[in-house]
Homo-oligomer: A and B are copies of this chain.
Amino acid sequence: MAAKQNIEESSEFSPRFNDNGLIPAIAQDAKTGQILMVGYMNKEALDLTIKTGYATYFSRSRKRLWKKGEESGHVQKVEQILVDCDQDCLVLKVAVDAGQCHTGHQSCFYRALKKDSGKELEFIAEKTYEPKETYKK
């Protein structure tokens, strides 16, 4: 309990990685507040993000470091890194250009659950770029 309180009140950054060595990081548009995407970082990705000032994640599917925008050019310039009370989640306040999702949308969260439906989604955003022209493979 003392340890828990210490993590919450401390000014020492001690991010807690999960059993897979990862911590979730939410990318939020610093200007608009829009949540753009959620990625995962291992220690190396977090260190690179801090050192370079650009968001780098660990791709769970490709099992490798992945600088956001390395292929699309849609990078995330990190303005601020926030950490939550128990230090097991990060928020990155980022400056971005258009299109942060590989589907062509500004945000990965382009669908919402329809009211009074537990099953059906509605699209709440238009595409901001054509992914076929951006991703060549």
Contacts and interface: CB of A to CB of B under 8 A. Distances in A.
B24 A84 contact: no
A5 to B, nearest CB: 9
Interface residues of A, number: 45
How many copies make up the complex? 2
A93 to B, nearest CB: 8
A98 interface: no
How would you classify the secondary structure of chain A's contact residues: helix, strand, loop or mixed? mixed
A133 interface: no
Interface string A118-134: 11111110000000000
Interface of A: 8-13, 24, 26, 28, 32-35, 37-38, 47, 50-51, 80-86, 89, 91, 101-103, 105, 108-113, 117-124
State the 8 A-B residue pairs at the shortest beta-carbon distance, nearest first: A33-B33, A84-B108, A82-B109, A81-B113, A85-B108, A11-B121, A38-B89, A50-B118
